[in-house]
Amino acid sequence: MPPDPLDSIRLNFSQSDLFALNLALALIMYGVALDLRWEDFRYLLKNPKGFILGIFSQFILLPFLTWGLVSLLNPPPSLALGMMLVAACPGGNVSNFLSNLAKGNAALSVSLTAFSSVFAIFITPLNFALWAGLYEPTSLLLREIRLDIAEVFFTVGIILGIPLILGIVTHQKLPEFAKKASKILKPLSILIFSAFIILAFAGNFELFLQYIGVIFLWVMAHNFIALSAGYLTGKLGRLPLSDIKTLTIETGIQNSGLGLVLIFTYFEGLGGMALITAWWGIWHLISGISLVALWKKTT
């Protein structure tokens, strides 16, 4: 079987663009952490059921279902690799905001974000390597790229770990400053990050137009599976509706920004991976806001 063109295409993204993307993501994580407290981790010990089901849905069920989807439908290896990377990432930075809008369990949402972001330093590289290694086309592609998982650990730790710790410490020591800074940093950093996603598309607009039909369908199907995984996990676990909403959003809103940083750092902007992950960053906002609007009408 001849290789798919997406497996050899690389998106144009300069080192200065990559640095700015890293900075924007670090600012986003710092802004998220300004709302966190060490006590948020204690909430998980007092309310273990929703937390355990949330971690199961996000870090075990979603990667497994992603592997099942690509094994069944056999997309080009670079697309499959992008989907597996997205599934291995922690929850997205807007999940708390959407959970509040949907009248979900705000404390559970914040606590899951805190836990998943910290432990993603270890879980994201391991999950990605595990599931990509179990699917032969992506396993072969990883061997060609010669990915060093130890370096991925380091990058994820720098991008997620340091801003989170600084944000939590800021909240503890300077609560008033944290409150004011959070209101500015959150929208500002998200705007900056969105601009870089648009920049990634703009610099490769012809490639985007050529593959948007395929990319759109794959991302839509994958995101639907992610949202459904969270919803069904909460439903089968007999959680209250507010917890079910939170699990749905936390599983369906992934940190695609982290995925993009890893792709441009270690995969040289591999076409299928970059397009899948960048479009996910746009689509999960559309699907998340649509879901919130639906819940507002029906509950």
Condensed to tens digits (0 to 9), the pLDDT of residues 3-54 reads 666 666 767 666 777 777 777 778 878 887 787 777 666 767 777 899 899 9
What is the rounded distance in angstroms from the CA atom of residue 162 to the CA atom of residue 152? Answer: 15
What is the per-residue pLDDT across 62-108, written as a single tens digit (0 to 9) for each? 999 999 999 998 998 999 999 999 999 988 777 888 888 898 888 88
What is the rounded distance in angstroms from the CA atom of residue 269 to the CA atom of residue 259? Answer: 11
What is the per-residue pLDDT across 109-121, written as a single tens digit (0 to 9) for each? 888 887 787 788 8
Highest mean pLDDT among 10-14, 155-159, 245-249: 245-249
Identify the bridge partners of residue 91 per DSSP, sorted by sequence position: 254
Residue 109, in any domain of the structure: yes
pLDDT of residue 5: 66
Residue 8, in any domain of the structure: no
In a 13 Å sphere around the CA of 174, the CA atoms on its Cβ side amount to 10
What is the per-residue pLDDT across 185-228, written as a single tens digit (0 to 9) for each? 777 766 776 776 777 667 667 777 778 888 899 999 999 999 99
Contact 56, 239 (CB under 8 A): no
Mean pLDDT of all residues in 246-257: 91
Residue 272, in any domain of the structure: yes
Residue 39 tokens, joined: 């006590």
CATH code: domain of residue 226: 1.20.1530.20
Per mean pLDDT, which range of 116-130, 140-154, 163-177, 275-289 is the poorest? 140-154
What is the per-residue pLDDT across 259-298, written as a single tens digit (0 to 9) for each? 888 888 888 788 788 889 888 988 998 999 999 999 988 7
pLDDT of residue 224: 96
Return the amino acid letter for 147. Answer: L
Residue 64, in any domain of the structure: yes
Residue 76, in any domain of the structure: yes
* Count of structural domains, the chain: 1
Structural domain of 232? 14-298
Find tokens 């997406």 and name the residue.
6
pLDDT of residue 56: 94
Query: What DSSP line would sit under 237-280, residue for residue?
Result: TT--HHHHHHHHHHHHSB-HHHHHHHHHHHSTTBHHHHHHHHHH
- Burial of 45: CB neighbours in 10 Å, binned 0-12, 13-18, 19+: exposed
pTM here is 0.88
What is the rounded distance in angstroms from the CA atom of residue 180 to the CA atom of residue 177? Answer: 5
What is the rounded distance in angstroms from the CA atom of residue 81 to the CA atom of residue 87? Answer: 10
Residue 182, in any domain of the structure: yes
Residue 5, in any domain of the structure: no
Residue 3, in any domain of the structure: no
Residue 59 tokens, joined: 């870090």
What is the rounded distance in angstroms from the CA atom of residue 284 to the CA atom of residue 118? Answer: 22
Mean pLDDT of all residues in 228-238: 96
pLDDT of residue 41: 67
